[in-house]
Copies of this chain bind each other. A is one copy, B any other.
Amino acid sequence: MIKIVVDLLGADKPQTELVLGAIRAISENKDLYVYLMGRKTELEDFLANVTYDESQLEIVDCTQEITNYDDPVDAYHDKTDSSLIKGLKMCRMNEDIGGFVTCGATGVVLISSILILGKLNATRPALSVVLNGRNDKPFCIVDCGANIDCKADRFVDFARLGVAYMKTLGIENPTVATLSNGIEAGKGSDVIKEAHELLEKCGFNFTGNIEGKEVLDGNADVVVCDGFAGNVLLKSIEGTAKVVFDDIRRAAAGASDTQKAQLEAFIGRLEPKFDYNNEGGAILLGVKKPVVKGHGAATDKTVYNTVKIAYGLAKNNLVEKISEEFEKK
């Protein structure tokens, strides 16, 4: 049984909507068990009308909730009966729990995960997102926003974390590239140039620099960058795709209903691929259990996807794979 703790509070949508994502995930995966962190009575009443296998879940009552307005350190100390803090502590205390899923406040998730679960291999954890590029080839970006000003040696840790992550997806010898403003080795900020030199020496399948325009082509399995550049990259991919799809629909505004339906048949299925926020979540790499963070506006679909990601990471031994990468140091 793969056991995942699912935090159902602290997002924009009510727990009774989000829980349906977890229910769908257990229905599809018979070896998945979820601890649902939320308001127990309300959840029990709601689930009385839902069909699911009771042997696959347990509701854990939480009397507190963390919001975006909470100070991360205060929340960690004062809201010990919140779904987020209580859930992370359950992950820490129970060896057989494989991971944690939340759509709560990012700052609190980052700090509490580090304080409660602890760092792996003494590296600072990083946020990563897996996107599907051209031909649906997956690749990951590390870091996506947890570490803003970074020295060059941090990029080596990002590469180790990303390589381990891609190995859980079955990619045996993931390629690693540094995000830069040109593909030539001499291109980049001073930090990137130094990181480039370090990465060449560390035994990675390192392919050099990658530009923003090639990232989605899937030219590298692991794109390493500081959290500032990674965030700009990720959000500009998301924003551009959204504007392109919106523009296409506007271009077709005067078309017939049949033509519009035809267009939707072409583009509707593609759109979610670029919407990493609704489709999945960011993974906090480098803590002692996988933590998957969906965005605050999560729907039941987001929860379904994030639970599936955490399930996959636990099943495919992310934490062991990260440790293996760091042992190569």
Contact = CB atoms under 8 A, between A and B. Distances in A.
Interface in A124-182: 133-134, 145, 148-149, 179-182
A232 B275 CA distance: 19
Interface residues of A, number: 55
A287 to B, nearest CB: 21
A214 interface: yes
A235 B213 contact: yes
Nearest to A187: B148
A251 B273 CA distance: 13
A181 B214 contact: no
Contacts of A232: 179, 181, 211-212, 225, 229, 232-233, 236
B181 A227 contact: yes
Interface string A241-273: 111111110011001000100110011011001
Interface of A: 133-134, 145, 148-149, 179-182, 188-190, 192, 211-217, 225-229, 231-248, 251-252, 255, 259, 262-263, 266-267, 269-270, 273-274
A190 B262 CA distance: 49
B266 A239 contact: no
Given A211-B231, A244-B274, A251-B266, 5 more contacts: A134-B243, A211-B235, A214-B239, A240-B241, A248-B270
Contact of A233 (B192, B212, B251, B269): B212
Contacts of A188: 148, 228
- How often does this chain occur in the complex, in copies? 2
Contacts of A217: 239, 243
Given A188-B148, A247-B270, A251-B270, A181 B228 contact: yes
Contacts of A228: 180-181, 188-189, 192, 229
Given A181-B232, A235-B212, A251-B270, A244 B241 contact: yes
A215 B244 contact: no
A267 B239 contact: no
Contact of A213 (B133, B225, B236): B236
